[in-house]
Copies of this chain bind each other. A is one copy, B any other.
């Protein structure tokens, strides 16, 4: 009924995965809603990339624990996505005939929302996932897609060849045309790996989605099924090389590292970048307060914090309270957590709304540390209470409150 113009490209963001490798951090929230970088959530990165690239219509496919994610996205206003026509839409599974159907795989999730996509009559569809940290102009990628007259363009990254076997590897000719795709090959033939960012010409994708859905043996997955099928049928698949910072934050270690990268001036991920802002939903909090006894070194601290202790090489999220005589180093403290006086925290990720009571020690390493050895990361799950004087050794993942000393 509403007359409107069609959209050239819309984005579909796969946010349904459980993210089990993030352990206690995704017990109650979907991975894209995990806090990152002092005030953001992981999903802020693909969403902000979209709006900064001029894409104003985004479907977010959710399935697992979507409540917090849904509330976070809300009407999309923080990302300027509260549009009358387009904007951000949450797309959960639903009942069609007499029964409902959950999303079986990434491709099936898109398949089930063909009707949604067709509402906007797009020429191209951008497929994104919700667990990568990067700043990317999808508009340049689209230009490349059009220039190559591609059916599908896959964003790729050059990695050291010895790391390539952890990824999907694209084997492409000089013209960047992909002739082979190998998922986590033992002997990678190329160092171009997929970033999980695809642009498809919609008509073509739709055809392959419908075909794939008819195949009972398919996992209905882009990497495993759709891309190989397209290659097999001789479609035009092209690689698009991206040169900036990109990090998969699917594990505790990589999440910690990506946060620490923000404090390292030598790593090329600058968030303070006015023409390419990362937008996020801001809490309504007063500015941070730094007390008489605070000592701050190379750290990032957010709104609503009250800091009266020592903070070094750490990322402190909004609303955190750090009392005096606390030392926090090389750690990530998520929103509204309280660290009481006398506690020591090292190489840890403390999730949101945790209370670390007085004189506790989290993540301290008693072993001697060898050169170049990576420190193990300690994780405390959401909303836990760690009682006074508790010692949580390095590398432990805590998912229940510790209410008695020595427990």
A binding-site residues for B, Cβ under 8 Å: 1-4, 62-67, 70-71, 74-77, 82, 84, 87, 89-90, 92-96, 99-100, 102, 115-116, 119, 281, 283-285, 318-319, 335-336, 352
Contacts and interface: CB of A to CB of B under 8 A. Distances in A.
A4 B352 CA distance: 18
Contacts of A3: 283-285
A381 to B, nearest CB: 16
A284 B65 contact: no
A325 to B, nearest CB: 27
A75 B94 contact: no
A95 B76 CA distance: 22
A55 to B, nearest CB: 18
Contact of A75 (B65, B87, B283): B87
Contacts of A65: 94-96
A7 to B, nearest CB: 14
Contact of A77 (B62, B84, B93, B119): B84
A89 B281 CA distance: 17
Contacts of A319: 1
Nearest to A87: B75
A283 B4 CA distance: 10
Contacts of A76: 75
A100 B63 CA distance: 8
A72 to B, nearest CB: 9
11 contacts: A1-B352, A2-B281, A3-B285, A62-B94, A63-B100, A65-B95, A74-B84, A75-B75, A82-B82, A99-B102, A100-B102
A385 to B, nearest CB: 19
B95 A63 contact: yes
A283 B1 contact: yes
Nearest to A16: B95
A281 B4 CA distance: 14
Given A75-B76, A84-B77, A67 B336 contact: no
Contacts of A284: 2-4
Contacts of A74: 84, 87
A336 B3 CA distance: 11
A102 B318 CA distance: 36
Contacts of A93: 92-93, 100
Nearest to A318: B1
Given A1-B319, A90-B90, A95 B102 contact: yes
